């Protein structure tokens, strides 16, 4: 096996870990939730994490509102990949209540001040059918769960020329600061784990970092790292781009999971030069630098297998 392939088999995460000053963990046995291939119960799907990241960036933005909304629209469309159906998203049950008629209103928070759910009146709901029948399984489940409880759900968002996904705020400020996206929720259940409160900024920066690596864009990925670790060595834009360009199958982000307020776990996979299939889990620690949240450290482990 040549040196380049040895690096791939030992893991692309080794480059990230060693050169950013990150702690690199070996492939020693661990708990099921920490091993590559084991998906934690409260893992956030990649499409949801990207959706949350787009909303969070607009919340924190300093440009004029119309520019932030346009940028968010583009990012939301990229997150949804032209598919408005969502599966096994996770969030916090915010409220379930009658709409003043014979239907129920359901709202789920997927990040601080970012929610999805029903319209709150029958007139707006025409053509959407998001209000819940009190006899439906979704409504019965929602009523049985405590407000503030963690839930997993599936459903459908709706296209919008203005926001990519239909959003029901009446003002531009409300749409940017506390967006409420319209969703027909078709399945709902309790999460199997208590989880942690999602830090939208932490989820956003880690998701963007790995999405940039998916696109082999090392220059863009570096913008999510603290400045003192960007300038030279294997973590430079050229090195990152070159390294991941050499993989036979590019890095693919599979999920992100909030561990604590400043710690985010990501699972990814790629295929090396000799067709070694690699699965990795990394834990990124983020820090506040002025108005930005940036990655300060990553600990990672990988397992790779050559084809038989």
Q: Which residues does residue 284 pair with via DSSP β-bridges, in sequence order?
A: 264, 298
Same domain, 276 and 169: no
Same domain, 174 and 119: yes
Pairing between β-strand 164-165 and β-strand 114-117 as defined by DSSP bridges: unpaired
Whether 136 and 142 have beta carbons less than 8 Å apart is answered as: no
d(CA 285, CA 22): 10
Number of domains comprising the chain: 2
In the predicted model, what is the mean pLDDT of the chain? 79
Same domain, 68 and 144: yes
The SS3 call for residue 41 is coil
Any domain includes 65: yes
Same domain, 56 and 34: no
Any domain includes 196: no
Tens of pLDDT, residue by residue over 207-245, are: 889 888 888 888 888 888 888 888 776 667 777 767 666
Any domain includes 101: yes
Any domain includes 130: yes
Same domain, 136 and 212: no
Same domain, 291 and 177: no
Tens of pLDDT, residue by residue over 246-299, are: 677 888 888 887 776 688 888 888 887 777 888 888 898 888 887 788 888 888
Same domain, 278 and 301: yes
Q: Which residues contact 238 (CB under 8 A, 6 or more apart)?
A: 218
pTM of the full predicted structure? 0.63
Same domain, 61 and 170: yes
CATH number where 14 lies: 3.10.450.50
Last residue of some domain: 131, 162, 190? Answer: 190
Give me the domain span that covers residue 143. Answer: 45-190
Last residue of some domain: 190, 218, 248? Answer: 190
d(CA 200, CA 60): 10
Confidence of residue 182 (pLDDT cuts 50, 70, 90): very high
Any domain includes 124: yes
Nearest CA to 47 among 256, 191, 302, 224?
Answer: 256
Same domain, 12 and 95: no
DSSP alpha helices (H): ranges in the chain? 3-10, 12-20, 46-60, 65-80, 137-144, 172-177, 200-214, 218-222, 237-245
Among all chains, which residue has been given the structure tokens 């790779």?
Answer: 304
Same domain, 56 and 153: yes
Pairing between β-strand 180-190 and β-strand 114-117 as defined by DSSP bridges: parallel
Whole-Å CA distances, 26 to 19, 68, 117, 122, 144: 16, 42, 42, 56, 43
Same domain, 28 and 52: no
d(CA 251, CA 11): 11
Last residue of some domain: 161, 190, 219? Answer: 190
Q: Which residues contact 185 (CB under 8 A, 6 or more apart)?
A: 106, 108, 116, 117, 118, 130, 132, 138, 153, 154, 155
Same domain, 205 and 263: yes
Torsion from C-alpha of 149, 152, 153, 154, nearest 10 degrees:
170
pLDDT at residue 176 is higher than 50: yes
Q: Which residues contact 296 (CB under 8 A, 6 or more apart)?
A: 226, 285, 286, 287
């Amino acid at each position: 096996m040549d040196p380049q392939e040895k690096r791939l088999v030992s893991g692309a995460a080794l480059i990230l870990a060693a050169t950013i000053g990150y702690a690199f963990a070996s492939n020693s046995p661990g708990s099921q939730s920490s091993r590559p291939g084991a998906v934690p119960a409260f893992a956030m799907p990649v499409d949801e994490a990207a959706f949350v990241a787009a909303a969070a960036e607009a919340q924190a933005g300093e440009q004029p509102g119309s520019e932030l909304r346009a940028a968010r629209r583009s990012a939301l469309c990229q997150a949804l990949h032209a598919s408005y159906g969502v599966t096994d998203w996770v969030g916090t049950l915010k409220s379930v209540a009658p709409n003043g008629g014979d239907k129920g209103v359901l709202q789920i928070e997927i990040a601080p001040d970012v929610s999805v759910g029903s319209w709150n009146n029958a007139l707006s709901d025409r053509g959407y059918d998001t209000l819940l029948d009190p006899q439906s399984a979704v409504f019965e489940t929602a009523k049985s769960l405590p407000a503030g409880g963690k839930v997993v759900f599936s459903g459908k968002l709706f296209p919008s020329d203005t926001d990519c996904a239909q959003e029901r705020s009446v003002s531009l400020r409300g749409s940017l600061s506390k967006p409420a996206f319209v969703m027909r929720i078709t399945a709902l259940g309790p999460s199997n784990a208590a989880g942690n409160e999602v830090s939208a900024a932490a989820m956003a920066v880690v998701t963007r970092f790995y999405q940039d690596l998916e696109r082999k864009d090392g220059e863009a990925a570096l913008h999510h790292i603290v400045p003192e670790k960007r300038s030279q060595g294997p973590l430079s834009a050229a090195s990152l781009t070159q390294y991941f360009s050499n993989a036979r199958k590019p890095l693919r982000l599979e999920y992100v999971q909030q561990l604590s307020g400043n710690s985010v776990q990501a699972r990814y996979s790629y295929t090396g030069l000799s067709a070694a299939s690699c699965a990795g889990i990394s834990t990124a620690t983020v820090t506040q630098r002025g108005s930005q949240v940036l990655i300060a450290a990553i600990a990672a482990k990988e397992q790779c297998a050559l084809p038989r």
